[in-house]
Chain A
Amino acid sequence: MAADPLIRVTGLRKAFAGHVVLADVRLEVRAGEAVALLGANGAGKTTLLRILATLTRPSRGTAFVLGHDCARAPERVRPHIGLVAHGAYVYEDLTALENLRFWTALSGLAADGAVLARALAAVELERFAGERVRTFSAGMKRRLSLARFVLARPRVLLLDEPFAGLDQRAKKWLEGYLEAFKAAGGALVMATHSFGRELALADRIVILAARTIALDTPRASMGAEEIARLYRLHTEDGA
């Protein structure tokens, strides 16, 4: 029998001031599985990620992460999730090391100098530990953001356009990092517009259209062209 999914979403609906963004969304993501969430602008990809991250409450339905209800028990969900959204959650006037020390202390994690240095080395930022984040590129900020997860070891990573704004080297690094995360039994949900590296990482392709999941299919050996064809078939964006 397959293990319980790390993420289970059932009958999810979200409306903002009467405008329905998501309706009757169902989704399950198991350990070691990566899901690429595709959809046009406004399809509700970010809203779904934010509900799973406990930042937005659903209007109806449930979202569970590791068996904890995202709406009713957000404090139980938060230690298990890592969210990489548009902001990198870094303070520009602090150094990389100071940023990491702050976030680990706030999360109640053990954070001596050696542990922090290892986390920075894991994201290839050890040479920049003492430099202020203000001087960092977008890719370096993204890596610093991920360094927190090296220490916190969440089971679920929620990523909104994870490869956007990164150079080729940073993309390659992130791809390796996410592969390793998946191999270690983590679950990934990546919201994206692109048919690039996210799709290569994904085990399943989920297309959000007309406020719900229009397609949920294993990626298997599907190439980018086939995925693009399915995307066009299911979304107004691609019509």
Chain B
Amino acid sequence: MVRKDLLVERRSKETLNALAFFSLLLLFVFQFALGPDRERLAGTLPGLLWLGFILSGLLGLGRTFVVERENDCWEGLLLAPGDKSAIYVGKLAGNLLLMLVIETILLVLFGFFFNLDLTNVLPALAVVIALGTVALAAVGTLFAAMTAHVRARELLFPVLLLPVEVPVLLGTVKATEAVLLGEPLGTVAHWLKLLAVANVIYLTIGVLTFDVVLDG
């Protein structure tokens, strides 16, 4: 599933190109809104960073099953014998890869646009981003499947996803804020534990319920 999705994306470049362009636009808007004021930037950067991740994530995750609507491949997935949770894990892995690529691009753009040196905090930041991204992708992949055949899916998808992600967003923004201020990860251990627990819960629900979701 991962190989298939990556091959399709590599050849069509539909999602990656759109998201990269979207990220660039987003950074232009942030730059215009904040200007060169470093103090203002320091207070808002964690929120902006995750706003960028969430917005690009929403666009990318929402398209997870678009390729399956082509030639009724969705039905083919449904009819394939075997454990459907493998499809969920495959789709999730593909989404994670795509999101991590986009987040890396966003991070580089943030450094460039706001003249930030993130080298020292990168390992700790990577841990927070990885935990937050898994949580986002785990629920996003499941909800993308749930809304794949709903008429107002573009509207419904974020409306369903964002409330569920509130604890994750709180944890990631708070942990990112501390990391960007140069504090060690230990000071935000409680947030990291929350993210880890959220990941376990979201992944378990995804694996256990995907079969039912796919069946409609």
Interface residues of A (CB under 8 A from B): 53-55, 74-75, 78-79, 81, 83, 85-94, 98, 102-103, 106-108, 132, 141
Contact = CB atoms under 8 A, between A and B. Distances in A.
Nearest to B69: A87
B201 interface: no
Nearest to B14: A93
Nearest to A99: B4
B72 interface: yes
Interface stretch (B45-53, B73-81, B159-167, B172-180): B73-81
B67 interface: yes
A78 B71 contact: no
Given A87-B71, A91-B4, A93-B11, A75 B76 contact: no
A81 B75 CA distance: 13
Contact of B71 (A54, A81, A141): A141
Contacts, number: 66
A88 B75 contact: no
B29 interface: no
B8 A54 contact: no
A87 B75 contact: yes
Interface residues of B, number: 23
Interface of A is mostly: loop
Contacts of A54: 79
B1 interface: yes
Given A86-B72, A107-B82, A108-B82, 6 more contacts: A55-B78, A83-B79, A89-B73, A91-B8, A93-B11, A98-B4
Contacts of A53: 79
Interface in B84-114: 86-87
Given A103-B80, A107-B81, A91 B73 contact: yes
A132 B10 CA distance: 13
Contact of A106 (B71, B77, B215): B77
Contacts of B1: 102, 106
Which of A53, A86, A102, A132 has the largest count of B CB atoms less than 10 A from its CB?
A: A102
Contacts of B12: 93
Interface in B103-162: none
B213 interface: no
Nearest to B68: A91
Nearest to A82: B79
A90 B70 CA distance: 8
